[in-house]
A and B are shown apart, each in its own frame.
Chain A
Amino acid sequence: MKALMALLRRDLGALLPGSSRGNSLLPLLFFLAVSMLYPFAVGPEPELLAATGGGVIWVAALLAAILPLDRLLAPDVESGFFDQWALRGIAEEVVVAVRLLAHWLSFGPFIIAAAFPASALVGIDGPTLHVVLLGLLAGTPGLAAIGIIIAAVTVGLKGGGAALSGLLMVPLAVPLLIFGAGSLSTGGESGLALTAAISLVLVAIAPFAGGAAIRAAREG
């Protein structure tokens, strides 16, 4: 338990916005920048913006979740942290599970908070914002889980890992996007429930998939 807290504290220190590694404010700014650019690109008609704004927030959240992927696990594998943990009997699965929590904490709540100014920028109304917020709450853990699995799978790649993670993330996130953003048009709870269900499954398998991928990379 003490070890878990030490791991979580280190992870949060490295991943939270404004932390010592310093550049993790970028996903948040990126998210706001996309929401700001959208009205400039499609024009200021309120009806068009209100009808499509929620979907744009979802796409922006997905893209923002891609940004931290190459720094998520690879530096710790390269500098020998995972070897040292293995020697101490701390399983890769445990480390990945803690990292998943830290990764979500470092972008999920901030994206949800940033959805308020973003909703004003793309001009969506209160009830729609309500569905967007619930959807992001249900969907961002799933996005974090996909992200961590991809970060683990691409851990052994020297160079080009960042671009590849982005490419892998997009198709895998499609189900979350369909149900998460789809709940906007149906206004409904079934979409949100399905989003949450997909998220739960992803969160449950991510530590095991990630741990196996890191062990496989070590053997190589």
Chain B
Amino acid sequence: MLARCAYIALTQNAMEPCRLAATELACRRGDRVLFSGLSLALEAGEALQVTGPNGTGKSSLIRILAGLMRPFAGDVERAGSMALIDERLALDEHLPLGSALDFWQKLDGCGVPDAALATLQLQGLLEVPVRFLSTGQRKRAGLARLLNSGRQVWLLDEPLNGLDDQARGAVEALLALHCGGGGIAVVASHQPIALPGQKTLHLPNFTA
């Protein structure tokens, strides 16, 4: 189903297993410590859902794991290539979806986007400028960028927002396939999502 890019990810995995571990993480926003003493360790093939109400620091945790935000305390250990999906699409709004995705395909060196587009049902939208896409379509476009990147560690911030049931099923299937191929996924979501292993981390348990 996922042609060559997923295959590239798999062969990379075979050479060098990915790993994501955090020890005693703490996160501070302004004067508030959102969470502290948080440790996690994910080996190749594992997935983790981060749960918790709004404002408990799910997105901050994802950004810390991605290395885009410095933790207030603690360390993150990363092995393998990282990919991030959050509410910001990183696709040029004025370009047709096809050209916008094409820019990232050039950077990531992936030339076979068709499988990902078919899974996410985006083929009919390639000529539509990104700014005209609906919430759910934008989310799916972001996932297409993620699939084409062929990365080992997926960090997904609310990937199910705005998706219909069918697209939700597709995301769950993609996650299962990714982890089955030796990838790691961390999914921050307040909605239930079926993940391989069904490991969860409830953030309010770590609030000070």
Contact = CB atoms under 8 A, between A and B. Distances in A.
Given A21-B94, A86-B67, A6 B88 contact: no
Interface string B28-64: 0000000000000000000000000000000000000
Interface residues of B, dominant DSSP: loop
Question: How many A residues are at the interface, by size bracket?
Answer: 20 to 34
A211 to B, nearest CB: 14
Interface string A82-117: 011011101000000000000000000000000000
Contacts of B103: 6, 10
B206 interface: no
B66 interface: yes
A68 to B, nearest CB: 16
B92 interface: yes
A23 B86 CA distance: 29
B90 A80 contact: yes
- Give the residue among A79, A87, A88, A218 with the most B Cβ atoms within 10 A: A87
Contacts, number: 50
Nearest to A5: B106
Interface of A: 2-3, 6-7, 10, 14, 20-21, 78-81, 83-84, 86-88, 90, 218-219
Contacts of B108: 88
B204 to A, nearest CB: 25
A28 B142 CA distance: 36
Interface in B164-184: none
B115 interface: no
A84 B92 contact: no
A87 B83 contact: yes
Contacts of A14: 92
